[in-house]
Amino acid sequence: MKDFLYRFFQGRYGAYGTDRLTKTCLAASVVILVLSYLTPFEFIYYIAIALLIYSYFRLFSKNIPGRYHENEAFVKFTDRIIKFFRKP
């Protein structure tokens, strides 16, 4: 088991890591997962799992420029929404 973990994490040093989009996807998947247990709709569970898989894909991705551009687009979009609601 120790050798397996060593081999798994050996190539992870160049991975992208967490950013605002990854954290948002993780939080949304947890919220949607809880909602899936409270509602009778089964497809909500699969949406939560898809978000979880996407966030882990982003977390372990070695395509740093690609993930950076995705995060920048997300930050610009969410900042415009936040700025709209903060206007007096």
Mean pLDDT, residues 52-61: 89
Looking at per-residue pLDDT, the higher value among 74 and 7 belongs to 74
Q: What is the pLDDT of residues 60-75, one digit of tens each?
A: 888 888 989 999 999 9
Q: What is the pLDDT of residues 11-50, one digit of tens each?
A: 555 566 788 999 999 999 999 999 999 999 889 999 999 9
Q: Could you identify the residue written with the tokens 């997962």? A: 33
pLDDT for the residue numbered 18: 82
pLDDT for the residue numbered 8: 59
Q: Model's pTM, two decimal places?
A: 0.75
